[in-house]
Chains A and B, each alone.
Chain A
Amino acid sequence: MPEVPKVVLERLRTGAPDAVHPDADLLTAFAEQMLSPTERENVLQHLAACGDCCEVVTLALPPESLPVPSVEAKEAQVVLTVKGRKSSHWYEWAGLRWAAVAAGVVVVASVLVVQPGKQKQPLVANENQPVSGPAAEQKAAIPFRDEGTLTSQTSPALVTPPESRLQDDRKLRAYGALSKKQLGTLPSTAPQKPEVALAEQDATLKPNATPQDLAVTGRNFTELMALAPAPSSTAAKSGAVPEQINPNVDATKAGQSVDRSAASSDTLVARSAAEAEAAPVQRAKIPIDDTAAKAQVVFKAKTQAAGAMTNSAYDDFSKASDGGATWQLSQGMLQRSLDAGENWQTVLRTDRPFLCHAASGNDIWAGGQAGMLFHSSNGGTTWTQVHPAVKDSKLTADVTSIETGKPGAVNVATRNGESWTTMDSGRTWEKK
């Protein structure tokens, strides 16, 4: 903003304000642009000289024009709480896991910025992290991090970086299928022939590979463990391996759960590694979505419960709300609250500000500058922009008020005095 000489500011307030303040009616009418030019001039003169009235006028602006404090912060808080609760219920290290996810995102972002050409690896790394969280929580599969620990007990050289493990999706699928067949963890799975054949071929080709060689990929690791107790690949094929290896496998078969206390045997290491490798492919995506969905459900349930508990004391702004939602405008954005005004989510944001809104049951209307008009018929889930028009004119003026009447009936008033009416939820319009 331009600077103004100090002396100007000093002199602005030197004239004592009028002895009499404009009354509340005048101030209200002033803010609502209802005064005659002379009256308006008088009020303005007073306001310029009177800090108190200036503040009263600003404070008394309709709620939608005042920013709602930290709505977003509140939202974030709620989301965090939900996550925190859920996670602590499932797994007490969840906080760290989410931190790890966040850190992963940051790392990935920075790598992407620094090395835009090498996108593949960071992306894979990113995929890894969430997998270790929700997948583990949901299915009790051993996450990558733990796998690292377990394998290191047996054979430190075999610990491989996640990037190399996941470099090739197709291969991984083959190994997942192979290892499952070998270990009998998923007896019903019919492995795809060519892939299994390929893997078996590999296994037979490298019967004498050193651990260092094998450490190159996780696939070799699987082979090693599979081959260790029964060096012949035909044994694996025949399905006799599981019994030979360890009865633990049966437990896995039954419950699909890994008992980490039994992690002393090589077999378990093999199995857990195999599972862990199978996990990202077969389970990773679903569990993540699943958790997200669950979190959302929890969130909704929570907010609804809050809505039910909060007495309607401070709700309002409500031009209407049947579905428990309350609506308001904040800084030109349309916000919805499902808990009687405790928390607000922005549901509609455009580059131009909204000026008014009306809600009648699940029908929500929001109007803004330059003829902008939006309608939602499902409580704000989806929105359509409505362009009211009659033969020779369109709605282009600022929409300053919306009124809903009978179902489908809406009346829209504009700043320049136009009045648009629809009786069929905006399909056809009539202009007055």
Chain B
Amino acid sequence: MPGSAPTGHDHGEREIDASTALLYERSGAAAYELKVEQFTLILAEIQRKYIPQASAREAADFCSALRLEELVLARACAAGNERAWQDFIARYQLKLRSMALHITRDAAHAAELADSLFAELYGLNTRDGVRSSKLQFYTGRGSLEGWLRTVMSQEFINRYRKQKRVVSLDEQTEEGVQFAAEAPAPTPVSDSRLVEATDEALAELSAEERYVLAAYYLEGRTLAEIARVLGLHESSISRRLDRVSAGLRKRLLAGLRQRGMSHAQATEALETDVRDLQLDLRAHLMQDSKPKAFPGRKVSASEAGSDK
């Protein structure tokens, strides 16, 4: 049995095998000289990564939802199949360039970014004599094109961060920052009750609501962008922001009163903050939040695959 199927039961293994054969056919892997055994190994590896505990049925569903055709293309490229490479280049080379242009908004940087990613995809770095292509980390969960865009964006953010760190004083002055900003101390929040109540209220929000808040207020994303990311309409994001901020306020007031504040005190504690919100938010966005978001941690596209 070439593949280590995710379940130990014989019955499960047979079922996977039957469906794997179907998937193999669907993926068109044979065209790239990818054997059933290799294909099964790849699927097993992907399952181990994402659904280690899944039942045979779930695993079968999971596999059939993968972008098999693109997965096979990527893995065949990584394995050095000539025809796969030709197909990949025909389909994605121009796209890579236009993606890079969209991400960097600058022709020179775009060319650099696209070229370096292309080199990584081709696998110029050899490890023990074996070419290691970044494409072998693609798992077919999303489209290959989307994956390429994401990998490129990660690479771009990495470079951008690196450059930010060595930004010159001149540039800072140009940007309107007169002095190199010392790491701004987190604004001391005088009342610990406020902090507690806030944490409590935030914990009650769903992850999506927290994401919308953070993306809109901290990252400065537009409603349209957030809507695209979540697959919703812009207006529903706007309504959600309204609802979340109103709810937060209510919960905060309740929390503060639970902690012994009078209604007037609690209202004042929040009002005070709201008044200088604009200023602080701007400061936050300009200096504070971005570099602080990931101190010292590099989001490397290569890690994307190695985080297994």
Give the interface of A toward B (CB within 8 A). Answer: 1-14, 17, 20-21, 23-35, 39, 41-42, 44-45, 47-63, 65-66, 69, 312-318, 331, 341, 369
Interface 1/0s, chain B 227-248, versus A by CB < 8 A? 0110101000010011001101
Contacts of A27 in B (CB 8 A): 142, 150
Closest to B107 in A: A314
Q: Provide the bound-state CA to CA distance between A25 and B189, in Å.
A: 39
Q: Which residues of A contact B307 (CB under 8 A)?
A: 20-21, 23
Contact: B211 with A31, CB < 8 Å? no
Query: B191-227 toward A: CB 8 Å interface, digit per residue (1/0)?
Result: 0001100110110001110110111111101001100
Q: How long is the Cα–Cα vector from A54 to B98 in the complex, in angstroms?
A: 21
Instruction: Give Cα A167 to B307, complex, Å.
Output: 81
In the bound complex, do residue A26 and residue B141 qualify as a contact, i.e. CB atoms below 8 Å apart? yes
Contact of A44 with B277 at beta-carbon distance under 8 Å, contacts A34-B141, A54-B219 already known: no
Contact A51 B221 (CB under 8 A): no
A residues in contact with B219, CB < 8 Å? 51, 54-55, 58
| A-B residue pairs in contact (CB < 8 Å), sample of 15 | A2-B242, A5-B248, A6-B276, A12-B214, A13-B293, A28-B146, A28-B150, A50-B294, A58-B219, A59-B103, A61-B149, A62-B146, A66-B102, A313-B97, A315-B98
Closest to B95 in A: A316
Shortest distance between the CB of A351 and any CB in chain B (Å): 13
Given the known A-B contacts A44-B207, A51-B293, are A65 and B228 also in contact in the complex, defined by CB atoms under 8 Å? yes
Most buried by A among B97, B150, B274, B280: B150
Whether A23 lies near B137 (C-beta < 8 A) is yes
- Check B201–A10 contact: CB distance below 8 A: no
A331 to B227 alpha-carbon distance, docked (Å): 12
Given A8-B248, A23-B305: A315 and B94 interface contact (C-beta under 8 Å):
yes
Known contacts A10-B189, A23-B305, A61-B225; can you find 19 more A-B pairs with CB under 8 A?
A6-B280, A7-B189, A9-B281, A28-B141, A31-B142, A31-B150, A44-B211, A48-B213, A51-B294, A54-B214, A54-B221, A56-B153, A56-B157, A58-B225, A62-B146, A314-B98, A314-B110, A315-B98, A316-B95
* Chain A residues touching B, majority SS: helix
Given A6-B273, A10-B189, A65-B224: A24 touches B137 (CB 8 Å cut-off): yes
A12/B202 contact (C-beta < 8 A), A24-B301, A28-B146 known: yes
Query: B29 interface residue, CB < 8 Å from A?
Result: no
* Residues of chain B lying within 8 A (CB to CB) of residue A318: 94
Q: How many chain B residues touch A (Cβ–Cβ < 8 Å)?
A: 86
What mask results when residues 255 to 296 of chain B are scored 1 for a CB within 8 Å of chain A, else 0? 000000000000000100110110011001000011011100
**When A52-B293, A315-B94 are in contact, do A60 and B210 touch as well, CB less than 8 Å?**
no
Q: Of B102, B211, B217, B292, which contacts A4 at CB under 8 A?
A: B217
Partner-A contacts on B (CB < 8 A) = 50, 65, 94-95, 97-99, 101-103, 105, 107, 110, 137-143, 146-147, 149-154, 156-157, 161, 186-187, 189, 194-195, 198-199, 201-202, 206-208, 210-211, 213-219, 221, 224-225, 228-229, 231, 233, 238, 241-242, 245-246, 248-249, 252, 270, 273-274, 276-277, 280-281, 284, 289-290, 292-294, 299, 301, 303-305, 307
CB-contact partner of A8 in B138, B201, B224, B242, under 8 A? B201
Interface centre among B141, B225, B307 (most CB of A within 10 A): B141
Please report the C-alpha to C-alpha distance between residue A61 and residue B228 in the assembled complex, in whole angstroms.
8
Q: Looking at chain B's contact residues, is the secondary structure mostly helix, strand, loop, or mixed? A: helix
Q: A20-B307, A50-B293 are in contact. Are A6 and B157 (CB under 8 A)?
A: no
Given contact pairs A13-B218, A62-B149, A52 touches B157 in the complex (Cβ within 8 A): yes
Cα distance A421–B103 in the bound complex, in angstroms: 34
With a cutoff of 8 Å between Cβ atoms, the chain B residues found around residue A3 in the complex are 245, 274, 277
Given contacts A11-B202, A316-B95, contact A48 B207 (CB under 8 A): yes
In the complex, A42 Cα to B305 Cα: how many Å? 18
Provide the bound-state CA to CA distance between A350 and B85, in Å: 41
Give which listed residue, A12, A30, A65, A341, contacts B218 with CB less than 8 A: A12
Contact present for A317 and B98 (CB under 8 Å): yes
A3, B138: Cα distance in complex, Å? 41
| Among A17, A20, A60, A316: residue with most chain B CB under 10 A | A60
A314 & B211 in contact (Cβ 8 Å cutoff): no
B146 to chain A minimum Cβ distance, whole angstroms, is: 4
| The 8 residue pairs across chains A and B that have the minimum distance between CB atoms | A28-B142, A51-B293, A44-B207, A316-B98, A24-B304, A59-B153, A29-B141, A48-B210
Bound form: Cα–Cα A33–B249 in Å? 31
Note all chain B residues with C-beta closer than 8 A to A331: 224
Tell me the complex Cα distance, A59–B155, Å. Answer: 11
